[in-house]
């Protein structure tokens, strides 16, 4: 099929079709689909956050106030599934759709119709997932990990949830195929792999991870389904199965999944920091290899989530040391970001503030991860709030901060309007202070022994839980404020028009410095998208 055939003739990039349905439902334009992904992600972020607010409301003080234990467990399960598959991953796919064609000089994504399909699966899948709340027995209540035998106690909601998860997996795989096909086949002439911006590199590697692990998750939940409805015994010890087998399969998916949610963040941060430090990224090639190294190692550390299941000592030692190894390429990245800022002509606009906060707070999450990687110590930390604190530092002050920083960074390009810098900075400080009030006390709760996923607790944990909940409500409110900022920017209220040199600084910087310092501007005979192909206007 020729590229011309993949676009309807009435849909060219300059003359968007009239009418809401044709413009949004039938779109094959990478920018419109990117916008749909980002709006959907924001809606899921608010919905998943609302569930978290109910959780923190219940934990504000000891005793059962607002929800029953079973409903509390449904909330924790659904909050996690919605945040992981509905908020964080679609946001990154939205960034990929918007920015990858522009960054590599391609006219669109390689498979535009599949692109449309992979998005429109999502709203239906999440409607089905959320509808389990309304069924007899409620939503699944076994944590986001869906461990048997607990998950098999549920009613028919399990089948519905599994079907929704299959649809989400199909969407992710289609998106990943599209990203790989686009990057490998549609780069501008002369753009070799080691001239691609780092955001493009992180997404290429993430896409391979997605294709590798989503079918594993699909297999695990299908086996749950057949155990529940068809009399198989994959995970039923009475029939010769083993519940720990599920954990192995789940975490073989689950650990690379964590990196699927953080690698594109690394790419976004690697675009923001060179811009506001006004220097090319330090150690570009080492960043590419570090990203690939993290992706490879993510496949051989899965059982560090399972130290307490009774695996042999040799297994515990292997998974402990393999986990330690991941800190090396991650440390390379942090070193390179700090080195990029070193002696740079730095300014501190909102995207840069989020990027710096990302580096500091993500590193805290990395250190607590190293603590959890120590097998004998993990026996103490396992299933406590220390684990909750760890992965929220990685996924909230990591992935979510990178997403928000990326939105501030690119929204002038997307909308043609400059966001309000004053409101952006208020949002940054409000979010950063409240998110630490929310999650930092949970380290102490976990070290003191408070178990996670329990709606009631001993009075000795009351004060830290109160502070954690206050931080949670403040952080939730800050994100409503963020929605208002985004809406005002889209509508152009109280904003200025963005120029073609929006982040202009000491050295005449354009939209983004592509991560490697280029020798030319890729404009000799290459397609130029919007006239803003990634390049530095002066060295």
Q: Which residues are known to be catalytic?
A: 79, 108, 144, 171-172, 255, 257, 259, 270, 304-305, 330, 333, 452
End-to-end CA distance of the chain, in Å? 41
User: Alpha carbon 442 to chain centroid distance?
Assistant: 22
Which residue has 């649809």 as its token pair?
167
What one-character-per-residue DSSP string does 399-416 give? IIHHHHHHHHHHHHHHHS
Q: Are strands 417-418 and 496-497 parallel, antiparallel or unpaired?
A: antiparallel
* Main-chain dihedrals φ then ψ at residue 250, nearest 5 degrees: -60, -45
State the alpha helices, DSSP H only, in 231-349.
243-260, 263-277, 284-297, 313-341
Task: Give the Cα separation of 214 and 143 in Å (integer).
Answer: 19
Other Cβ atoms closer than 10 A to 422: 10
Burial class from Cβ neighbours inside 10 Å (0-12, 13-18, 19+) for residue 531 reads: exposed
State the alpha helices, DSSP H only, in 186-262.
198-229, 243-260
Contact 183, 196 (CB under 8 A): yes
**Spatial CA neighbour of 400 closest among 371, 367, 438:** 438
The 3 state secondary structure assigned to 52-116 is HHHHHHHCCCCCCCCCCHHHHHHHHHHHHHHHHHHHHHHHHHHHHHHHHHHHHCCCCCCCHHHHH
Task: Give the Cα separation of 55 and 446 in Å (integer).
Answer: 17
Cβ neighbors of 243 (< 8 A, separation 6 or more) are: 147, 148, 149, 235, 236, 237
Task: Give the Cα separation of 375 and 317 in Å (integer).
Answer: 7
Burial class from Cβ neighbours inside 10 Å (0-12, 13-18, 19+) for residue 109 reads: buried
Dihedral over Cα of 379, 384, 390, 392: its sign = positive
Contact 501, 509 (CB under 8 A): yes
Cβ neighbors of 384 (< 8 A, separation 6 or more) are: 445, 446, 447, 449, 450, 451, 452
Burial pattern 442-470, b for ≥16 Cβ within 10 A else e, equals bbbbbeeebebbebebeeebeebbbbbbb
Contact 101, 109 (CB under 8 A): yes
Which residue has 């504000």 as its token pair?
60
């Amino acid at each position: 099929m020729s590229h011309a055939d993949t676009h309807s003739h009435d849909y060219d990039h300059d003359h968007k079709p009239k009418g809401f349905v044709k413009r949004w439902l039938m779109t094959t334009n990478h920018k419109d689909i990117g916008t749909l992904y980002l709006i959907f992600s924001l809606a899921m972020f608010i919905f998943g956050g609302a569930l978290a607010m109910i959780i923190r409301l219940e934990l504000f003080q000891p005793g059962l106030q607002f929800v029953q234990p079973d409903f509390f467990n449904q909330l924790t399960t659904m909050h996690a599934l919605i945040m992981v598959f509905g908020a964080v991953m679609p946001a990154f796919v939205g960034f990929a759709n918007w920015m990858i064609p522009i960054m590599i000089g391609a006219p669109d994504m390689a498979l535009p119709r599949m692109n449309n399909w992979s998005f429109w699966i999502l709203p239906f899948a999440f409607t089905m997932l959320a509808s389990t709340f309304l069924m007899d027995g409620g939503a699944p209540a076994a944590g986001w990990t869906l461990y048997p035998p607990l998950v098999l106690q549920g009613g028919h909601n399990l089948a519905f949830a599994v079907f929704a998860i299959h649809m989400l997996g199909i969407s992710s795989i289609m998106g990943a195929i599209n990203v790989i096909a686009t990057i490998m086949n549609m780069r501008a002439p002369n753009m070799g792999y080691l001239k691609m911006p780092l955001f493009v590199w992180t997404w290429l590697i993430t896409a391979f991870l997605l294709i590798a692990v989503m079918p594993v998750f699909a297999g695990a939940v299908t086996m749950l389904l057949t155990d529940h409805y068809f009399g198989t015994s994959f995970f039923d010890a009475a029939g010769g199965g083993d519940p720990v087998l599920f954990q192995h399969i789940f975490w073989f998916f689950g650990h690379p999944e964590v990196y699927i949610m953080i690698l594109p963040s690394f790419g976004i941060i690697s675009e923001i920091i060179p811009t506001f430090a006004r220097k090319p990224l330090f150690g570009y090639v080492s960043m590419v290899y570090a990203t690939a190294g993290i992706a490879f190692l993510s496949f051989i550390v899965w059982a560090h989530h399972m130290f307490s299941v009774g695996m042999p000592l040799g297994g515990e030692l292997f998974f402990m040391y393999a986990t330690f190894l991941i800190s090396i390429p991650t440390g390379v990245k942090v070193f390179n970001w700090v080195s990029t800022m070193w002696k740079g002509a730095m300014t501190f606009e909102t995207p840069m503030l989020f990027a710096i906060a990302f580096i500091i707070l993500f590193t805290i999450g990395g250190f607590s991860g190293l603590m959890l990687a120590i097998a004998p110590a993990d026996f103490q930390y396992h299933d406590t709030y220390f684990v909750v604190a760890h992965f929220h530092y990685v996924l909230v002050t990591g992935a979510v901060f990178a997403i928000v920083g990326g939105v501030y960074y690119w929204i002038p390009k997307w909308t043609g309007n400059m966001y309000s810098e004053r409101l952006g900075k208020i949002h940054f400080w409000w979010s950063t202070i409240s998110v630490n009030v929310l999650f930092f006390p949970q380290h102490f709760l976990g070290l003191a022994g408070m178990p996670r996923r329990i709606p009631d607790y001993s009075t000795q944990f009351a004060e830290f839980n109160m502070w954690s909940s206050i931080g949670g409500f403040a952080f939730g409110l800050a994100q409503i404020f963020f929605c208002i900022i985004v809406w005002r920017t889209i509508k152009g209220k109280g904003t200025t028009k963005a120029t073609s040199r929006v982040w202009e600084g000491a050295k005449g910087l354009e939209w983004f410095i592509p991560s490697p310092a280029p020798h030319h501007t890729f404009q000799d005979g290459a397609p130029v998208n919007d006239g803003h192909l990634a390049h530095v206007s002066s060295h």
